[in-house]
């Protein structure tokens, strides 16, 4: 079989299949990419589906299932059911290659393929991943896939070998679990040094304006956003992670950091900060009024915040064309993100690291309130800071906490050289601290570093 191979679906749709290769993990992999030609006759963006060729597969043994799928999708668009960025399609009971659902994202440009600008890339997902995206937003799911598959910004190659990222019943302790959120499927948020930029698509303007118009003082509204078109680094968060983190292409400068959501509140001060894998922005009464007036007029605005930061709203009124396809990056590198105050802060004597969930596949979110749990951890942290204020040696230890509705069991895990008296003292100290309410047992591990090294 010669590649590219063209298959005629009907008089208005053909599919071009390209065989190409790219580096993945530690070696070069072959890949089929199916490109539609003819969707645009119904005002629909053309589509691209990439499938890894299994090591024992014959490249000429082209899978036919994607051709049938494109035929059905073409019929849907002809019936005025167009797919846009961020949309999803359920693929029936049998699905395709074990995946029952797909999401539409901006295509990624692989070497050796025609330009994929204005193409929608198809990402096949498991049922639990589909549910996760509906709960927490597509961008958070894409960042999980990007880090898991070590591909920035996210993998548009698909393989039957990819397991689901989640177990049944996954419900994270997250800001997005406990607060309602609104989807801005065409808008993006990103940080460029001391400036937070919200690129608000004109199609998203009405729901954004309405949500802010009804926002009361001290209330919070959260907007899920699309994957940033300009970022070279993307925020990443998972349950238990307390410090900001991100993944990026290896040579990324980190000058533009994309987020998966923005929360907005009315407070006494103006400021923004990283929150999980998104941004929290608060505005005083006067600045909030200025923002609302700009929205009513349908114009952008730049606000100088009293924190020394800036908030920039840009209303995108251009064409509905997709952004240029981003080049494929075979490796995603982890980045620790430091906020401006942290850059100059004195190094803490007692550092509390990310907690580890030991409760098995059942999520903590079903058993405990997120804010109460983190507040308990912070009380433990503060008590240790006070108790160890005179300690000048460096050492590490962990607290294993088993919390029941009416009981707390504390275990101190440390190296054999740690003083037994310190272990007894620490256990006793933690047992005296007010806990949080739980509906059933939870088990977590809290790692600490005393006088952490640089």
Per-residue pLDDT tens for 370-416? Answer: 888 988 999 999 999 888 888 888 888 999 999 999 999 999 998 76
**pLDDT beyond 80 at 170:** no
Percent helix, strand and coil across the chain, each to the nearest 5:
25, 35, 40
CATH fold of 175-340 reads Gyrase A; domain 2 (3.30.1360)
CB of 269 closer than 8 Å to CB of 288: no
In the chain, DSSP finds a helix count (H) and a strand count (E) of: 9, 28
pLDDT at res. 330: 80
Would you list the domain boundaries of the chain? 5-158, 175-340, 350-450
What percentage of the chain exceeds 70 in pLDDT?
A: 94
Measured CA to CA, the distance from residue 34 to residue 10 in angstroms comes to 16
Neighbour count for residue 60 (Cβ, 10 Å): 10
pLDDT at res. 422: 87
pLDDT at res. 345: 39
Neighbour count for residue 428 (Cβ, 10 Å): 10
pLDDT band with cut points at 50, 70 and 90 for residue 341: very low
Which H, E and C letters describe 252-263, residue by residue?
CCCCEEEECEEE
pLDDT band with cut points at 50, 70 and 90 for residue 366: confident
pLDDT band with cut points at 50, 70 and 90 for residue 340: very low
The mean pLDDT of 309-335, rounded to a whole number, is 83
Check for a shared fold between 175-340 and 350-450: no
**pLDDT beyond 50 at 343:** no
The mean pLDDT of 192-209, rounded to a whole number, is 94
pLDDT at res. 338: 64
- Residues 232-245: pLDDT tens digits? 999 999 887 777 88
pLDDT at res. 415: 72
pTM equals: 0.78
Q: Per CATH, the architecture of 350-450 is what?
A: 2-Layer Sandwich (3.30)
Average pLDDT, the chain: 88
**pLDDT beyond 90 at 104:** yes
The mean pLDDT of 295-314, rounded to a whole number, is 93
Q: Backbone dihedral region of 413: left (phi > 0), alpha (psi from -120 to 50 degrees) or beta?
A: beta
In terms of pLDDT, which residue wins out, 366 or 412? Answer: 412
What percentage of the chain exceeds 90 in pLDDT?
A: 57
Range with the poorest average pLDDT among 77-81, 177-181, 267-271 = 177-181
Task: Count how many Cα atoms sit within 13 Å of the Cα of residue 198 in the half-sphere of its side chain.
Answer: 30
State yes or no: cis peptide before 131, omega within 30 of 0: no
Task: Count how many Cα atoms sit within 13 Å of the Cα of residue 136 in the half-sphere of its side chain.
Answer: 28
The mean pLDDT of 109-129, rounded to a whole number, is 95
**pLDDT beyond 80 at 202:** yes
pLDDT at res. 361: 54
Neighbour count for residue 406 (Cβ, 10 Å): 6
| Residue 415, burial from CB neighbour count under 10 angstroms (0-12, 13-18, 19+) | exposed
In terms of pLDDT, which residue wins out, 396 or 124? Answer: 124
**pLDDT beyond 80 at 79:** no
CB of 108 closer than 8 Å to CB of 121: yes
Select, from the ranges 23-27, 94-98, 199-203, 267-271, the one with the highest average predicted confidence (pLDDT).
199-203
- Residues 246-261: pLDDT tens digits? 998 878 888 899 999 9
- DSSP H helices, 65-224, are 65-78, 127-136, 138-148, 175-178, 205-213
For tokens 């979110």, the residue is 365
pLDDT at res. 169: 66
Three-class SS state of 215: coil
Measured CA to CA, the distance from residue 265 to residue 222 in angstroms comes to 9
The mean pLDDT of 44-52, rounded to a whole number, is 95
CB of 225 closer than 8 Å to CB of 184: yes
DSSP string, 178-202: HS-EEEETT-EEEEETTEEEEEEEG
In terms of pLDDT, which residue wins out, 339 or 138? Answer: 138
pLDDT at res. 319: 58
pLDDT at res. 6: 95
């Amino acid at each position: 079989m010669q590649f590219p191979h063209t298959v005629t679906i009907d008089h208005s749709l053909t599919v071009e299949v390209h065989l190409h290769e790219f580096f993945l993990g530690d070696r070069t992999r072959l890949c089929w990419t199916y490109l539609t030609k003819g969707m645009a006759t119904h005002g629909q963006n053309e589509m691209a589906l990439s499938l890894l060729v299994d090591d024992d597969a014959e490249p000429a043994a082209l899978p036919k299932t994607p051709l049938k799928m494109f035929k059905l999708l073409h019929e849907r668009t002809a019936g005025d059911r167009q797919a846009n960025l961020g949309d999803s399609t359920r693929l029936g009971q049998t699905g395709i290659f074990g995946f029952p659902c797909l999401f539409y994202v901006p295509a990624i440009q692989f070497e050796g393929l025609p330009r994929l600008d204005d193409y929608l890339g198809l990402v096949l997902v498991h049922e639990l991943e589909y549910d996760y995206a509906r709960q927490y937003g597509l961008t958070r799911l894409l960042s999980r896939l990007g880090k898991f598959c070590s591909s920035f910004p996210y993998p548009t190659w698909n393989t039957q070998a990819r397991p689901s990222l989640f177990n049944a019943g996954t419900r994270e302790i997250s800001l997005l679990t406990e607060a309602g959120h609104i989807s801005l499927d065409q808008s993006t948020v990103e940080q460029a040094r001391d400036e937070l930029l919200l690129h608000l698509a004109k199609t998203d303007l009405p729901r954004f304006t309405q949500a802010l118009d009804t926002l009361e003082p001290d209330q919070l509204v959260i907007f899920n956003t699309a994957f940033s078109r300009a970022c070279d680094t993307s925020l990443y968060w998972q349950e238990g992670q307390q410090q900001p983190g991100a993944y990026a292409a290896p040579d990324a400068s980190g000058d533009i950091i994309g987020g998966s959501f923005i929360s907005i509140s009315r407070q006494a001060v103006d400021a923004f900060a990283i929150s999980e894998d998104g941004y929290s922005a608060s505005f005083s009464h006067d600045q909030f009024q200025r923002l609302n007036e700009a929205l009513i007029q349908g114009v952008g605005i730049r606000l100088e915040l009293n924190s020394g930061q800036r908030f920039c709203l840009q209303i995108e009124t251009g064409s509905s064309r997709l952004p240029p396809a981003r080049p494929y990056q075979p490796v995603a590198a982890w980045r620790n993100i430091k906020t401006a105050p942290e850059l100059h802060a004195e190094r803490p004597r007692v550092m509390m690291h990310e907690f580890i969930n030991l409760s098995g596949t059942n999520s903590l979110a079903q058993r405990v309130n997120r804010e109460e749990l983190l507040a308990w951890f912070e009380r433990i942290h503060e008590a240790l800071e006070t108790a160890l204020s005179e300690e000048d040696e460096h050492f590490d230890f962990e607290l294993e906490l088993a919390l029941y509705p009416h009981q707390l069991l504390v275990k101190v895990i440390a190296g054999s050289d740690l003083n037994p008296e310190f272990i007894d003292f620490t256990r006793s100290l933690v047992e005296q601290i007010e806990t949080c309410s739980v509906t059933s047992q939870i088990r977590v591990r809290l790692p600490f570093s005393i006088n952490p090294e640089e």
